[in-house]
């Protein structure tokens, strides 16, 4: 345990116990919702008065709206990058629990692992930071470690195959409290909520060559293993399989990926630690930390973060069915996206593959769909794929995805879209990472966009 970090968590916990009338402001993704729920539960158990408010981003206008509405404020999973603005507008009586890059600004009630040399990208998420405070408030809050694990998984802090660093200490609290159990197994998403075919077909991390986005091949793969897809009327999911069937499935998948020359590190990351929430029903997606995280993200994306928060705080009646519906909606949109690709086909430019979804696919889904196409066998890994959707405001949003091989060869989609933001001018907003990036631009600039993009990609890969 890092002494400085724990000391600061203790100080903040003490303040929370002494004060009352809080506004808990939290981020709308899985980590933000879990951390909001951890703090809200801790306050509730103390008998404090509090309100909650979700935000997509902590813009200055939002801070202005919030100011004066409570006696004390907690900003969770953001705020470290807005300390100056918070000090100017809220002035005092606010706390920041975050793991993003902080401004160079002093603030007494600011807990961020990066200030203590702890990696906030891999070792602890906002939910872990919130948990550290909750645990200092009362040792009995150790059951909340389960939500801290969900938050960390939601922020993909297990990408090495298991939780590391500070997250491991939180995990061990969760195991001791009997709220989480771990096992080693296949780390594909959807072990509980996805029928076997979709378990393979919708795999986007990693992409499985010839199986992702290819329903027919998934069916053949499973038939080849002799695994029954149904039990009576019910589609079987991976958790329904016997131990032998699970092992058969996993080894066949590994052999398959070797056959298609998937890099060794990617194949290895397929097997790792699985986190189960022991207090949740075995058939509920909440039983698996990854699915719990996706359920929260689905709620957040649909403007229903509060539903996710209620579920995190134990609601299994009023809000739970809505949360399940959001998760189903997420899957439906992925399926629809892939079907649309089949119908509309993919165009090929010299520098990239292109898919125009029109107004039919949400811009939050299109990037995932684009990435999945590499698995379908429809496109070669030699060019990036660019997918386009029309937003409800009439603007266009392009999402680009590239393979790691293309990135090694010099492709940087984030840089291209950042440059295009300047070159396409007003109404354009672009950026992102080398293999995954996005850009929004006015509709009349579509042809200009395509031509410029083709030129830039060819230049980078020349
Ligand atoms: Mn986060």
Are 380 and 399 within 8 A, CB to CB?
A: no
Q: Compute the Cα dihedral for 110, 154, 160, 135 and give only its sign.
A: positive
Q: Is a pLDDT exceeding 90 seen at residue 371? A: no
What pTM does this model have? 0.87
Triad 364, 366, 370: Cα angle to 5°? 140
Are 73 and 22 within 8 A, CB to CB?
A: yes
- Residues recorded for the chain: 462
Between the CA of 29 and the centroid of ligand 1 the distance, in Å, is 7
Between the CA of 126 and the centroid of ligand 1 the distance, in Å, is 5
Q: Is a pLDDT exceeding 70 seen at residue 353? A: yes
Tell me how far CA of residue 355 lies from CA of 108, 335, 345, 346, 438, in angstroms. 50, 16, 7, 5, 14
Q: Is a pLDDT exceeding 90 seen at residue 204? A: no
pLDDT value of position 372: 87
Q: Convert the pLDDT of each residue in 117-161 to its tens digit.
A: 999 988 999 999 999 999 999 999 999 999 999 999 998 899 888
Q: Is a pLDDT exceeding 80 seen at residue 364? A: no
Between the CA of 274 and the centroid of ligand 1 the distance, in Å, is 20
Question: For residue 116, what are its two tokens?
Answer: 């203590």
Between the CA of 99 and the centroid of ligand 1 the distance, in Å, is 7
Between the CA of 147 and the centroid of ligand 1 the distance, in Å, is 13
Distance CA 259, CA 210 (A): 11
Between the CA of 77 and the centroid of ligand 1 the distance, in Å, is 5
Among residues 51, 97, 38, 34, which one has the least CA distance to residue 300?
A: 34
Question: For residue 10, what are its two tokens?
Answer: 């203790």
pLDDT value of position 301: 86
Q: Compute the Cα dihedral for 59, 390, 301, 189 and give only its sign.
A: negative
What percent helix, strand, coil does the chain show, rounded to 5? 50, 15, 35
Between the CA of 142 and the centroid of ligand 1 the distance, in Å, is 20
Contacts of 131 (CB under 8 A, 6+ apart): 35, 38, 141, 144, 145, 147, 148, 170, 173
When pLDDT is cut at 50, 70 and 90, the band that residue 1 belongs to is: low
Between the CA of 204 and the centroid of ligand 1 the distance, in Å, is 21
Between the CA of 440 and the centroid of ligand 1 the distance, in Å, is 24
Annotate 74-88 with b (16+ C-beta within 10 A) or e (fewer). bbbbbbbbbbebbee
End-to-end CA distance of the chain: 49
Between the CA of 286 and the centroid of ligand 1 the distance, in Å, is 19
Cα radius of gyration (the chain) = 23
Triad 221, 224, 228: Cα angle to 5°? 90
**Strands 230-231 and 347-348, how do they pair?**
unpaired
Q: Convert the pLDDT of each residue in 97-115 to its tens digit.
A: 999 989 899 999 999 999 9
Domain architecture of the chain: domains with CATH: 3-177 (3.90.1640.30), 189-283+320-336 (no CATH), 345-461 (3.10.310.40)
Question: For residue 30, what are its two tokens?
Answer: 């899985």
Between the CA of 96 and the centroid of ligand 1 the distance, in Å, is 13
State yes or no: cis peptide before 90, omega within 30 of 0: no
Q: Convert the pLDDT of each residue in 291-310 to its tens digit.
A: 999 999 999 988 999 999 99
Contacts of 110 (CB under 8 A, 6+ apart): 8, 79, 80, 83, 95, 96, 98, 102
pLDDT value of position 363: 79
Between the CA of 76 and the centroid of ligand 1 the distance, in Å, is 9
Would you list the DSSP string of 354-370?
A: EEEEETSS-HHHHHHHH
Between the CA of 235 and the centroid of ligand 1 the distance, in Å, is 34
Between the CA of 353 and the centroid of ligand 1 the distance, in Å, is 32
Q: Compute the Cα dihedral for 133, 161, 338, 443 and give only its sign.
A: positive
């Amino acid at each position: 345990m890092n002494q400085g970090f724990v000391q600061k968590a203790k100080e903040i916990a003490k303040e929370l116990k002494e004060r009352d009338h809080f506004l808990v402001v939290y981020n709308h993704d899985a980590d933000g919702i879990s951390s909001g729920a951890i703090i809200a539960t801790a306050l509730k158990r103390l008998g404090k008065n509090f309100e909650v408010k979700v935000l997509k981003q902590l813009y200055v206008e939002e801070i202005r709206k919030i100011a004066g509405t409570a006696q004390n404020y907690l900003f969770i999973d953001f705020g470290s990058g807005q300390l100056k603005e918070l000090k100017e507008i809220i002035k005092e009586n606010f706390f920041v629990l975050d793991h993003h890059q902080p401004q160079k600004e002093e603030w007494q009630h600011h807990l961020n692992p990066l200030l203590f040399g702890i990696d906030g990208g891999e070792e602890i998420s906002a939910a872990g930071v919130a948990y550290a405070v909750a645990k200092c408030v009362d040792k009995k809050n150790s059951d909340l470690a389960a939500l801290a694990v969900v938050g960390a998984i939601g922020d993909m802090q297990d990408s090495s195959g298991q939780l590391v660093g500070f997250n491991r200490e939180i995990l061990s609290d969760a195991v001791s409290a009997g709220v989480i159990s771990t096992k080693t197994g296949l780390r594909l998403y959807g072990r509980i909520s996805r029928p076997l075919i979709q378990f393979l077909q919708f795999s986007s991390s990693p992409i499985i060559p010839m199986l992702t986005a290819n329903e027919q091949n998934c069916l053949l793969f499973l038939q080849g293993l002799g695994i029954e897809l149904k039990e009576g009327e019910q589609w079987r999911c991976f958790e329904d399989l016997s131990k032998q069937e699970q092992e058969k499935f996993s080894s066949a998948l590994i052999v398959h990926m070797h056959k298609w020359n998937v890099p060794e590190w990617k194949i290895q990351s397929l097997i790792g630690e699985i986190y189960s929430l022991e207090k949740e029903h075995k058939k509920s997606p909440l039983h698996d930390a990854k699915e719990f995280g996706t359920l929260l993200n689905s709620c957040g994306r649909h403007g229903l973060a509060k539903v996710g928060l209620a579920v995190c705080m134990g609601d299994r009646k009023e809000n739970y069915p809505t949360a399940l519906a959001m998760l189903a909606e997420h899957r439906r949109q992925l399926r629809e996206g892939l079907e649309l690709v089949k119908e509309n086909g993919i165009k090929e430019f010299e520098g990239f593959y292109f898919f125009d979804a029109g107004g039919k696919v949400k811009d939050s889904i299109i990037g995932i769909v684009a990435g999945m196409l590499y698995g379908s066998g429809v496109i070669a890994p030699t060019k990036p794929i660019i997918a386009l959707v029309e937003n409800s405001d009439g603007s266009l949003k392009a999402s680009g995805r590239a393979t790691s091989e293309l990135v090694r060869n010099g492709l940087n989609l984030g840089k291209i879209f950042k440059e295009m933001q300047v070159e396409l001018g007003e109404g354009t907003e672009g950026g992102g990472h080398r293999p995954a990036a996005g850009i929004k631009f006015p509709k009349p600039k579509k042809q200009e966009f395509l031509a410029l993009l083709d030129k830039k990609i060819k230049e980078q890969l020349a």
